[in-house]
């Protein structure tokens, strides 16, 4: 198999595994929600980026309607970024950058180094750089799509 495909497949599997770990303990789905996704699952990469930006600006926020603690929601969103990006029309270089950052942050948060609260997460320079970079890239993508009459999310 092609080394590029191997990397992509490994990254996708790692993201799915991280998603599964992040979803443990999620409340039971209601009839209105999809059984396989937790209540804080974003519809698109654009929604995830918007939510991460909001959490970066307001780290003392209350839990969402799904009652997921903000720290857990933030970590889940970072972990789900590769899956959401792969499910979008974004280019490969954007996927690669988001995937690498997500995996790097997930690895950083493992074990004894795990941040204790949302403030610790959002104060991390690597997190701030990723979230701000995504907001800029997605703002440009949205503007270009609006000019073409499309809506990315």
Query: What is residue 44's DSSP assignment?
Result: S
Is the confidence at residue 33, as pLDDT, over 90? no
Place of tokens 């440009």: 140
Residue 80's pLDDT is 96
Q: Does the predicted model carry a pTM greater than 0.85?
A: no
Q: Tens digits of per-residue pLDDT, 39-73?
A: 889 999 999 999 999 999 988 877 776 678 899 99
Place of tokens 């997605």: 138
Range list of β-strands (E), the chain:
none
d(CA 153, CA 134): 14
Is the confidence at residue 123, as pLDDT, over 60? yes
């Amino acid at each position: 198999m092609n080394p590029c495909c191997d990397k992509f497949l490994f990254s996708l599997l790692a993201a799915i595994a991280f998603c599964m770990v992040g979803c443990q303990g999620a409340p039971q789905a209601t009839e209105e929600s999809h059984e396989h996704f937790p209540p804080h699952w974003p519809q698109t990469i654009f929604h995830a980026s918007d939510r991460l930006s909001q959490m970066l600006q307001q780290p003392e926020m209350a839990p969402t309607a799904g009652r997921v603690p903000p720290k857990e929601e933030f970590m889940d969103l970072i972990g789900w970024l590769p899956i959401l990006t792969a499910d979008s029309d974004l280019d490969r270089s954007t996927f690669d950058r988001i995937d690498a950052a997500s995996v790097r942050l997930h690895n950083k948060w493992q074990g004894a180094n795990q941040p204790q609260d949302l403030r610790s997460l959002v104060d991390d320079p690597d997190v701030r750089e990723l979230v701000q970079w995504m907001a800029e890239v997605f703002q440009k993508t949205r503007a270009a799509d609006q000019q073409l009459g499309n809506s990315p999310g």
